[in-house]
Amino acid sequence: MDLIKSIFIAATGLRAQSGRMRVISENMANANSTANTAGGDPYRRQIPTFKAEFDRELRAHVVTPGRIAVDKSDFSLRHEPGHPAADAKGYVKTANVNSLVEMTDMRQAQRSYEANLNIVRSARSMIQRTIDILRA
């Protein structure tokens, strides 16, 4: 396999994981959000997706960010009668974001990003060694 081609393929993985980390960060930032008004809905967790595409120029399958799906799971309820977004029973809807799940997803995305980065570094190193050998 061509080393330059490897770098371009790994770069698509870097972009995909970078987008995934951005969505996860947004989820984590809104984990404790509530609705602004009584009966309203708070932040709803987003789920990044990917799709495999064939790149004609590279003649290889690459990963690209897909659409961002919305998590349809139920909101959590917290009893806070004095909150402006509380319903008649005093319950406030909170975001359907589980911080533990988000941290696990973030760690997985970070490891995938690092793996793709290592491919780029290794390919660059091999190219540099080849150039050094040819110069000698």
pLDDT digits (tens, 9 = 90+) for 101-112: 999 999 999 999
> Which pTM value belongs to this model?
0.87
Residue 51: strand, helix, or coil: strand
Q: From CA 96, how far away is CA 75, in angstroms rounded? A: 5
- Write the DSSP symbol of residue 59: T
Q: What is the pLDDT of residues 17-65, one digit of tens each?
A: 999 999 999 999 999 999 888 878 999 999 999 999 999 988 899 999 9
Domain count, the chain: 1
Residue 45: domain span: 3-135
| pLDDT for res 1 | 56
Give pairs for 47-56: CB < 8 Å, separation 24+: 47/23, 47/71, 48/19, 48/20, 48/23, 48/24, 50/16, 50/20, 55/12
Q: Tell me whether residue 134 is exposed, middle or buried, using C-beta atoms within 10 angstroms of its C-beta: 0 to 12, 13 to 18, 19 or more.
A: exposed
As a whole number, mean pLDDT of residues 5-10 equals 93
Q: What are phi and psi of 20, to 5 degrees?
A: -65, -45
Q: Tell me whether residue 68 is exposed, middle or buried, using C-beta atoms within 10 angstroms of its C-beta: 0 to 12, 13 to 18, 19 or more.
A: middle
